[in-house]
Structures are given as structure tokens and as C-alpha cells.
Amino acid sequence: MKDINCLLAGLLHLLAAPAALLILRKKTKAKIYPAIAALAAAFPIFFIAGAIRSQFSDSPFLQFSIYNALLYGVFEEGGKFLMLRFLLAPYITPKEAAAYGIGHSAFEDINSGITCFGLIGTGKAAADILPVTVISAAEGMVLCTAITLVIYYGIAFNKSRFTLPAAMLLHAVSNLSGRILPMSVSVIVRSAIAIAVCIAAFRLWNSARTQ
């Protein structure tokens, strides 16, 4: 049964982003290429961040966890900002910003999916790998997309001095909670952050319509 759950978990990770993009495309007519650009940009972002992380990999657990969370918060959200502000600015609307967020989250989903497949036949998979995957994949994609929309709002309305540091910090806190808190508590914290960012993104764009 564990092997079946690993297979289903891996497929879920790999198919989540394409399914979300198809739904977004059908509902909003959003262009898909920002998602492809985001996926391509994620490779050098994660490679550079990983190289830097290796420099403090021997640090005590808590120290390493804090550094790691801050590192990826800065690099991932900073990378989104640079892509949306400079490379894709003429082509991005809120719909495409959402597509970019989904594409970015797909990078981690691919890695997680491959990891799940690698557990097949080893007997090392957790018994709850499938339900945990459902929750983590949904929470991760929602948070990534909502944060991307907040970053885009900051760019569009010259608020990046507020929105970008907030996005980096929320990303870091979410990552940190996943490393240092028990899973049951971490799921609550990360889900609460995702919901809060979604509400913020919704309110920011409602406010933007009146400007």
C-alpha cells in the first residue's frame, strides 16, 4: 500500500501545476508562458541558493534552519521580483502573475514528485505520505501564487519597498516552521500564512481597482 501511495503522491506533485494552469487558462484566458519562464528561472535561483547554503551546512540545526529559511526567502522572492520587474514587465497582468507563481511552485513539485517515486520499493515512505502530499502541494502552490501576486502589486503600484520584504519574510517564516515545528503544528502555521497572504492579495487588488 505504501508503494501505491508513493506513486499517487509523486503523480500528484507532477500533475498539480499543469492542472492548475489549465484551470487558470480556462477561467481567465491567462497566457501560459510566464509559468514556463518561472520554471526556467527557478533552476539558477535554486542552484545559487544551494551553493550558498552549502557554506553553512555544518551549522547547528536551529541556526542552519534560520539561515536556510532566510536564504530561500530572499532568493526565491527576489528572483520573482527581478523577473516580473525587468524581464516580463511588458507582458504581465495579474493573470499572468498568477501563472508565474504556479510555474515557480512547479519546480519544487517536480523535485518532490521524483523523491516520492524514489521511495517506491524501499519501505521508507511514511504511512501518511499521500494525505500529507495533498495538503503540502495545495498549501505550497496557493502560498507561492498569492505571494507572487503581492509582489506584482508592489511593482505595479510602486509599493515594492513594503511588499517585497514582507514576501521574503513570510516565505522564510513558512519554510522555518516546516523545519522546526512538529508536522501537525507546521501545517497549521503554514496554512494560516497562506490564507493571510491570499486575503492580502485579494484586498490589494480590490484596492488597486479604485486607484
List, for residues 63-108, the tens digit of each pLDDT value.
999 999 999 999 999 999 999 999 888 888 888 999 999 999 999 8
- Residue length of the chain: 211
Structural domain span for residue 100: 2-206
Tens-place pLDDT, residues 127-160: 788 888 888 888 889 999 999 999 999 998 888 9
pLDDT band (50, 70, 90) for residue 162: very high
Q: How many domains does the chain have?
A: 1
The CA distances from residue 200 to 20, 95, 147, in Å, are 21, 16, 9
Give CA–CA dist 53/47, Å, rounded.
10
Q: 102 lies in a domain?
A: yes
Q: 19 lies in a domain?
A: yes
Q: 139 lies in a domain?
A: yes
What average pLDDT score do residues 176-181 get? 90
Give CA–CA dist 139/137, Å, rounded.
6
Q: 211 lies in a domain?
A: no
Q: 138 lies in a domain?
A: yes
pLDDT for 211: 52
Q: 83 lies in a domain?
A: yes
Q: 103 lies in a domain?
A: yes
pLDDT for 208: 59
Q: 136 lies in a domain?
A: yes
